[in-house]
Amino acid sequence: MDQFRLALSADFQRPDGSPAYPSFDLRPLDDNPAIDWAYVPLEKGVVPASAMAGYDALILLGGQFTADSFPGDGKLAMVARFGVGYDNVDVAACDANDVALVITPTGVQRPVAVAILTMMLALTGKLLTKDHLTRSGPEGWAKRADHMGVGVVGLTLGSLGIGNIGAEMFRLATPLGMNFLAHDPYADATVAQQLGVELVSVERLFQDADVVAVNCPLSDATEGLVNADLLKLMKPTAYLINTARGPIVDQAALTEALQARRIAGAGLDVFAEEPSSADDPLFQLDNVIVTPHSLCWTDQCFAGIGAADVKAAVDLMTGHVPTGIVNKGITENAAWQAKRQGYRGRFG
């Protein structure tokens, strides 16, 4: 029987072979007789080309897919990321090898926006400090008046980036009675206007916002964008939240600003180095909340991302253009079009 061959990177499995993330429902793959799927190994964190031979598509979790990951048979047509970040995939090499790179913005849009608000409310409410006071017994309770939280009504929530996640963050924050600012050179002005978001320069964003959330992708243009100069513009009462990618923020400069109390605090789900070292000076500070690049990880989040990736695979298999393609020019590529039309003839 002719089958569409789909690979999943091995980090979707536990060492004993069981699924690492059960909320990623694999039954649609098992129930479709036209799909033959299997896990492919990682070698030093990279998908090797030898493992990808014969596959039509790959769903990639955390491994690297480099220029050396493409098999020589030219069969591969799609790499689908499990999420929206794609800094672990060589996009130029995808173009050169007639491969579409797909992400899943709909799967993470709400969960990441919720994670940002979780950080904001935990920081402004001094949640971790109050947790510590409570656990300290009567002596801690006696200090609770010294750690008053900050109400968010009338504060300004700012976003560095107003794509799917930034826009969703503002939608969820609307009932809180905050003012909204954003900086994004690619912003849709109509969307911003509908959300009540004022588009401003990056300098004004950092000057005026009481909470700045990083909601842009990591690229050559954004790496190190949040540097010492921008951090110096922030109010001493302001908070920085980063759930996007660690290298967008100069972590050393942020650590220094937090140590000197030049800003009130930070909520970080991502870091310059992951996994991070336990002795990182950032982790010794009491004005920062840190989570291991997983604050948005919920059963609903992984179910949504998984369903979006499975749909992308089925769409491709049946000759349709998957949604969420990063390298959009690939859809005009004759070789890629030939692959897609071939699938349509076989499985459509």
Which pLDDT value is given to residue 11? Answer: 96
Give residue 81's region: left, alpha or beta (phi > 0; psi -120 to 50). Answer: beta
Return the CATH number at 153. Answer: 3.40.50.720
Q: Tell me: do 113 and 203 sit in the same domain.
A: yes
Q: What is the pLDDT of residues 296-332, one digit of tens each?
A: 999 999 999 999 999 999 999 999 999 999 999 999 9
Rounded average pLDDT over 79-91: 95
| Per-residue pLDDT at 169 | 98
Question: pTM of the full predicted structure?
Answer: 0.91
346 catalytic? Reply is: no
Nearest by Cα to 86 from 215, 224, 301, 245 = 245
Spell out where 12-87 has E strands. 35-40, 57-60, 78-81
Of 243, 262, 290, the residue that ends a domain is 290
What average pLDDT does the segment 78-103 reach?
A: 97
Query: What gap in Å lies between CA 318 and CA 128, rounded to an integer?
Result: 50
302 and 285 part of one domain? no
Q: Range of 169's domain?
A: 109-290
* Overall average pLDDT of the 189-212 stretch: 98
Among candidate residues 203, 293, 332, 344, the one labeled active-site is: 293
Structure tokens at 276: 């991070």
User: Do 142 and 220 belong together in one domain?
Assistant: yes
Cα 244 to its chain centre, rounded Å, is: 5
* Catalytic residue of the set 43, 203, 273, 274: 274
Q: Looking at the structure, do residues 119 and 262 belong to the same domain, yes or no? A: yes
Query: Does the pLDDT value for residue 289 go beyond 90?
Result: yes
Residue 71 has what pLDDT? Answer: 97
The Cα 227–Cα 334 span in angstroms is 42
Which amino acid appears at position 226 of this protein?
A: V
CA 182-186-188 angle, to 5 degrees, is 75
Decide which of 259, 290, 321 is a domain's last residue: 290
Domain count, the chain: 2
Residue 105 · residue 302 · CB < 8 Å: no
What is residue 1's predicted lDDT score, i.e. its pLDDT? 79
What tens digit of pLDDT does each residue of 152-169 get? 999 999 999 999 999 999
Smallest Cα–Cα separation from 247: which of 213, 287, 220, 280? Answer: 220
Pair (144, 204) in one structural domain: yes
Query: Per-residue pLDDT for 348 more than 90?
Result: no
Residues 99 and 123 in one domain: no
Q: Are residues 249 and 133 in the same domain?
A: yes
307 shares its domain with 266 = no
135: tokens are 């656990």
Which of 81, 110, 183, 245 is an active site residue?
245
Instruction: Say whether both 267 and 118 belong to one domain.
Output: yes
Q: What are phi and psi of 323, to 5 degrees?
A: -80, 160
Q: What is the mean pLDDT of the chain?
A: 97
DSSP state letter for 240: E
- Is the CB of residue 308 less than 8 Å from the CB of residue 324? yes
Concerning whether 183 is annotated as a catalytic residue, the answer is no
Q: Examine the residue annotation and report whether 245 is marked as an active-site residue of this protein.
A: yes
pLDDT band at 228 (very low <50, low <70, confident <90, very high): very high
Residues 91 and 197 in one domain: no
Mean pLDDT across the stretch 273-296? 96
Integer angstrom CA distances of residue 224 from 73, 158, 217, 247: 38, 18, 12, 6
Q: Do residues 237 and 306 share a domain? A: no
Residue whose pair of structure tokens reads 């243009």 in the numeric block = 221
Q: Assess whether 18 and 128 both reside in one domain.
A: no
Where b means 16+ CB within 10 Å and e means fewer, 148-158 reads eeeebeebbbb
